[in-house]
Amino acid sequence: MRVAGLCQEVQRIRDEAIDESGARDGIGQRAWGHSRDSMSCPVAIVPHSEDFEPEMRSIHNRRINETAAEGGAMSALHIVGYRSFGCVTLLLLTLAGASRAEAQEVQTFTGSSCQASGSAQDLYYSGVSVANRNGSTSSAVCPLVRANGIAAWWAIYVFVRDRHETQEISCIAQARDLTGVAGSGWSETQSTSGTGDQTLVFGAPGTALPPYGPYVVTCSLPPMVDNVPSYISSIVLVEP
């Protein structure tokens, strides 16, 4: 309904009330706040519903679209945030998996932990090193403590110093079964070349090793030359 029409209907009811009461002395006027003829009604304060609906529908639709856009943006933000978090989580999980896959157990053994081979006990121990100060070749047996009893090593590094110009330091790395029988596991030999500080590297064995079997590195050290000995300084064992 138009507001103007509503106003006219109120005016009609007022006039009927005044006529019925016969109050021509102003009582009715005081009750309504103005005279019978003083009440004016606007032509149209608000458009009629037929005129109002298209415009309001347009405004309403625009608000729906804006709300949807805001909601879509929030949803997109939420999705992006979720995906970002998912990517970060995935990335973190991937990195954690890679760290586990590449985890290493590294142990370092001093040369002085080696034992002289045989009963002569003719090796010389000084700090972390074991040296041969004899006039003939001597052997040192260096046991390695396994951290992973079921997997083969990744690498063994033997750090030595060769002082002999014509003879080499020669080391053999062995893995045996729990009975310790020679040839029950795997072995490899590496030797120095020339004099000076050198590293003998034993890569991962090309075959499965006996589970929980002992590791040992045995090195032959050439005789002392000009009162300076050859020696083993340390051994590094890298396991998975």
Kindly report, residue by residue over 141-167, the tens digit of the pLDDT: 999 999 998 999 999 999 999 999 999
Do 160 and 154 meet the contact criterion of CB atoms below 8 Å apart? no
Q: Report CA-CA distances (Å) from 119 to 116, 124, 169.
A: 8, 14, 21
Where do the structural domains in the chain lie, given as residue ranges? 1-46, 105-239
Consecutive H or E run containing 132: strand 129-132
Say which CATH class 105-239 falls into.
Answer: mainly beta
More confident residue, 78 or 183: 183
What was the pLDDT predicted at 21? Answer: 52
- The pLDDT tens digits of the residues spanning 12-54 come to 666 665 555 554 445 444 444 444 555 555 544 444 445 545 5
Q: In the structure encoding, which two tokens stand for residue 117, read together?
A: 């081979």
Cα gap 228→182, rounded to integer Å? 34
Q: Which of 32-46, 93-107, 169-183 has the lowest mean pLDDT?
A: 32-46
